[in-house]
Structure 1
Amino acid sequence: MDSAKQLTGTLALAVFTAVLSSLQYGYSLGVINAPQKVIEKHYGLALGVWSERAGVLSGNTTEEDEFLDVGQHPAVVMYWSLSVAIFSIGGMLSSFLVGFVGDLRGRIKGMLMVNVLAVAAGLLMGLCRMWKPHIMIISGRAVMGFYCGLTSGLVPMYIGEIAPKAYRGALGTLHQLAIVIGILISQVIGLDFVFGNDDMWPLLLGLSGAPAVLQTFLLPLCPESPRYLYIVQGKEQEARKSLHRLKGTYDATPDLEEMRREKEEADREPSVSILSLIRSSVYRQQLSVALMMHLSQQLSGINAIFYYSTAIFARAGVAQPVFATIGVGVINTLFTLVSVALVDRAGRRTLTLVGLAGMCCCAVAMTVGLKFQNEYSWMSYVSMSGVFLFVSFFEIGPGPIPWFIVAELFSQGPRPAAIALAGCCNWSSNFLIGMTFPYIQTWLDSYVFVLFAVLLLGFTVYIYLRVPETKGKSFEEIAAVFHKDRKKLAQGSKEATELQQLKTSTDA
């Protein structure tokens, strides 16, 4: 076997260390849901709208108000909604800074610097009882969202640049695997008999900063990205040392030669900022593909599934629907492992198409199940099966692949700006779904998944027509695919112009 393709201990350590940020991202996504009622109660106490002794609303309230659940009080609803939404807002804002942070001091030092944010966020939430819990938690969630917006770009960028070509897909998928493991951990330890109770909930939230502490100790042991060292900083010898640390003893000349050509091309191009990337016709096709891949992930309806799953299981007569929801988290994790095993064999394009088409069929099945489950009891099992299969198809392709394929589609020059734009697109669409889904659900009721089925069909057709396969290709070869398409397009446009000119002269 070619030694350049071997997975060394140093490479394994580097990838493991990087995806600790992804684990933290997943944990932060899921941790806020389980203890919702407990947190709302403490918000009510802090706001003076709930009396723990009396167990009723207090203050200037009417007799009718005293029978309202504290979670329905307008002030509590507002602060709770903000606690959830502020995470996505923080991610949207910081995603624009991914390229700047990654290029400022390098990928490793960039991840090391932003860990300060994660530790600060964990402390704000873990110590929230020391002051006003609603202010402390909202502040902590905002800072954690800002941190996750940065790392959701830095981690795929770093892994994409250090991974051997043969394993780039599998290692890139580990970002998503760590996210779903983080979500699963938060679901399990968020159970009321573990940490999701009246006494331990601040610790549950505060633990979201724990992976950053471990990562801070491990990052100095990891080599910097060779592509960053050579192409951005021009340090060929340091890039060579980094390659040997990552891949073992082998002839690094072909890898360095590929980087040299990429550096020469990058040096000929002007600096690629986010704005110039948007305006550039050269990268328009790659950018369209990158953004569409991220939109297909967030607008697929996966967040709606997690929102609906507990209610679907409850209607199906599951005694403890919360455990069934944890079962969805386990399925989530298992099928991400399937993607890790298949992505470098079946290919990115194939797995994404299979995943999206499968999700589309599941969305139709769930619509039928939700519509008729009151008339036919067995229809509830159709809905339950639809939930499990929907999640399985999502994690096979549409879940993990958009995160790392952006790093494959772009050369070193525009890569940071492209990852920043794709990350912003991901966070923005996530926020949009989070804010609008309750209204869509009220409007469409059991037909809510018809909307997602239509979107999934559209994404499937787009990816079939426009997305090339990147499996086993170097960054140079992938760029050549788009360059060839642009030449064909330009040639076609030129021929069309010539034909029009000929027609005009003939008519004259």
Structure 2
Amino acid sequence: MPSHGFQPIEGGQQVIRHRVTKTLVLSVFTAILSSLQFGYNIGVINAPQKIIEQSYNESWISRSELGSPPIDPALLRTLWSLSVAIFSIGGMVSSLSVGVISQWLGRKRAMVINNIFAFLGGSLMGLSQISQSYEMMIVGRFLIGAYSGLASGLVPMYVGEIAPTHLRGALGTLHQLAIVIGILVAQVLGLDMFLGTKSRWSVLFWVTLIPAAVQSLLLPFCPESPRFLYIICEQEAQAKKSLRRITGLLDVSDDLSEMKEEKRQMDSEPKVSIFQIFRSRTYRQPILVAIILQLSQQLSGINAIFYYSTDIFSKAGVEQPIYATIGAGIVNTAFTVVSLFLVERTGRRTLHLFGLAGMIICTLLMTVAMALQDTIPSISSLSMLAIFGFVAFFEIGPGPIPWFIVAELFSQGPRPAAMAIAGCTNWTSNFIIGMFFPYVADLCGPYVFLLFAFLLLGFLIFTYFRVPETRGKSFDEIAHAFRGRNLSLLDMEVKASTELDSLGGGGADEE
């Protein structure tokens, strides 16, 4: 039985089809433990919200003069919003350094070092109750956010670089699958029957140390990215060794040839920084696509549901809203698995368009249900159904695709800087939603999700006209296409030289 074969794709190109090896499975599994941690810390703050707020109040009273009144409700809301949103600030700050750290330490070593943030952040959050310090909780949330910001760039980069081309989309989706599993685990552990009680809620945050410890133990057994070794470090022997471990083959000349071509293209370009990506006409179109896709993920309203779902379900008249929140988490996980099987069959662009369209319909249904809940109490079931549908459509496309398509749109040279820009965009918009959604929801009432419907419509139009299909294309083919050398590979029809220029082709790189 042959170890690999060639699968024809559009345009007469061929893709090397490697078998899935134990080393590849171990490496991907170990990497996405960071994604699991990321998701867990998105969801962990949701279920025990009222208990943690009560703990903040008790800390306030214990540190005030005898007989002092409880904490002011406005201040409590601000402290809570900060506890939620500072996670995104940590991610926003650290995501900008993904490019520098991944080039300096390498993908694997950077993930090892990143676990320091997880251990520090988890310990501070876990000790905040016994120390009666909401400041420790806030600082811990910042540190675990910094961990997640680095993870959100390092994991898709590492997985994308070790994955065979024909499995890159499916393996890239595992990053999002691990995130949603982490969210679901946090929601379940936050139930009263487990850790969501006044005496046990701090244990929820000690749990964050477990995946960090497991990953730290497993990473030494995983290979470094062969692309990093060959293209960045120029260590051909080490790159071959890494390729042999990942593919299970002795002859890795085909893979090495692909990397040689990628390195040749990279050497013909100047070294790319974040600032240069924005100045270069070659990279302007792909970085715009990367940024808008990240915004389409975060400004869709999905994190408003992840962070505040219990409160949203309560306002929608749902009895036992915590169980509805867990139901949303199960739907979230199930449809990420659906996307895993569809992404290499249907394509990235198609799934993203389908997901955005479905989310628009669900936001309109949510608005109708929440507006009429006082008049028609039984309509709360429509609200819950709309939220479940919103989550399902999100995970079909806008959830997983923006994470890994950025790595596909850029060659090795600009990829780290592009990942940093995309990550910072994602975390900045995440922070905006986490910090300001409660205030916007109070202002807009039941019509708050109409704002997200308008944003989703804009993202849908942009995706239809500007986002290319990258399924089955090598990194080098995609980079060539964005330079205008072979646009047919991305199924794009260019009818005029002005449109070529909008894609970054037909001119000098720098203005």
Q: Report the alpha carbon displacement of residue 285 of structure 1 after superposing the two structures with TM.
A: 0.4
Hey, what does 1:46 align to over in structure 2? 59
- The match for 1:420 is 420
Q: Determine if the alignment matches structure 1 residue 28 to structure 2 residue 41.
A: yes
Aligned to 1:64: none
Shift of residue 478, structure 1, vs aligned partner: 0.8
Task: Please list the CA deviations of residues 374-400 of structure 1 after superposition, one character each: whole Å capped at 9, or x if unmatched.
Answer: 333443222221111111000001001
Map 1:391-470 → 2, pairs under 5 A: 391-470=391-470
Identity of paired residues, percent? Answer: 56
2:497 alignment partner in structure 1: 491
Indicate how the Cα distance of structure 1 residues 130 and 476 shifts in structure 2: closer, same or farther if over 3 A, else same.
Answer: same
Letter in 1 for 2:55: H
Q: Structure 2: how far apart are the matches of 1:368 and 1:36?
A: 27
Using a 3 Å threshold, how does the CA distance of structure 1 residues 426 and 316 change in structure 2: closer, same or farther?
closer
Offset, 1:446: 1.7
Deviation (angstroms), 1:82: 2.4
- Matched residues in 2 for 1:353 and 1:402: separation? 12
Q: Distance in 1 between matches of 2:274 and 2:315?
A: 47
Distance 1:78 1:435 in 2: 9
Deviates more, 1:363-372 or 1:142-151: 363-372
Quote the Cα distance in structure 1 between the aligned partners of 2:271 and 2:496: 24
Q: Which residue identity does 2:48 align to in structure 1?
A: P
TM-fit CA distance, 1:305 = 3.2
CA distance in 2, matches of 1:485, 1:375: 60
With over 3 angstroms needed to count, the CA separation of the structure-2 counterparts of 1:162 and 1:150, relative to structure 1, is same
Tell me how far 1:129 sits from its aligned partner: 4.2
Output the CA distance in 2 between the equivalents of 1:492 and 1:114: 44
Alpha-carbon contact 1:226-1:242 (below 8 Å) kept: yes
Aligned residues between the structures: 482
What is the Cα deviation at residue 307 of structure 1? 5.5
Give the 5 Å matches for 1:12-411: 12-48=25-61, 59-61=67-69, 70=70, 72-249=72-249, 251-306=251-306, 309-310=309-310, 313-314=313-314, 318-411=318-411
Q: CA deviation at 1:439?
A: 2.6
Which digits, 9 at most, give the CA deviation of each residue in 1:427-478, with x for residues without a partner?
Answer: 0001111222223222322222222111111111111111111111000111
Deviation of residue 159 (structure 1)? 0.3
Equivalent residues of 1:315, 1:380 under 8 A apart: no
For each residue in 1:347-386, what CA deviation from the matched residue of structure 2 results, as whole angstroms up to 9, or x when unmatched? Answer: 1011101000111111112222222233334432222211
| Contact 1:312–1:380 (8 Å) recurs in 2 | no
Q: Secondary structure at 1:442's aligned position in 2? A: helix
Change (3 A) 1:444 1:76: closer
Deviates more, 1:405-414 or 1:375-384: 375-384
SS at match of 2:330: helix
Q: Identify the residue that residue 9 of structure 1 maps to in structure 2.
A: 22
C-alpha displacement of 1:47:
2.4
Q: Which amino acid is 1:212 matched to?
A: A
Query: For 2:416 and 2:239, how far apart are their aligned partners in 1?
Result: 19
| Structure 1 residue 104, shift from structure 2 partner | 0.8
SS of aligned partner of 1:249: coil
Q: Which has the larger radius of gyration?
A: 1
| Mapped partners of 1:183, 1:434: distance in 2 | 15
Deviation string 1:2-50 (CA, Å, 9 cap, x unpaired) is 5242111110000000000000011111111222222222222322269
If the length of structure 1 is used for normalisation, what is the TM-score? 0.90
Q: Is the 8 A contact 1:301 1:452 kept in 2?
A: yes
> Where is the helix percentage greater, Structure 1 or Structure 2?
1
Aligned counterparts of 1:382 and 1:168: Cα–Cα separation in 2:
37
Alpha-carbon distance in 2 for matches of 1:245, 1:257: 17
* Inter-partner Cα distance in structure 1 for 2:89 and 2:309: 25
Q: 1:49/1:438 Cα in 2 relative to 1: closer, same or farther (>3 Å)?
A: same
Q: 1:436 to 1:73 in 2, by over 3 A?
A: closer
Q: Is the 8 A contact 2:411 2:475 kept in 1?
A: yes
CA distance change for structure 1 residues 48 and 316 in 2, over 3 Å: closer, same or farther? closer
CA contact (8 A) 1:165 1:474 kept: yes
TM-aligned CA deviation for residue 72 of structure 1 = 4.7
CA displacement 1:197-219 (0-9 Å, x = unmatched): 12212211121122111000000
Structure 1 gap ranges (5+): 52-56, 62-69, 496-508
Distance 2:134 2:3 in 1: 56
Q: Give the Cα–Cα distance (whole angstroms) in 1 for the partners of residues 132 and 68 of structure 2.
A: 21
**In structure 2, C-alpha distance between the alignment counterparts of 1:173 and 1:474, rounded to whole Å:** 17
Q: Cα distance 1:120–1:494, how it changes in 2: closer, same or farther (>3 A)?
A: closer
Distance in structure 2 (CA, Å) of the matches to 1:180 and 1:75 = 31
Report the Cα distance in structure 1 between the residues aligned to 2:63 and 2:478, rounded to whole angstroms. 60
CA drift of 1:485 comes to 7.5
Matched-pair contact (CA < 8 Å) for 2:229–2:235:
yes
SS at match of 1:33: coil
Q: Hey, what's the Cα distance between the residues in 2 that align with 1:224 and 1:314?
A: 47
Residue 313 of structure 1, CA deviation: 4.2
1:132 CA drift (Å): 4.1
Q: How far apart, CA to CA, are the structure 1 residues paired with 2:427 and 2:443? A: 24
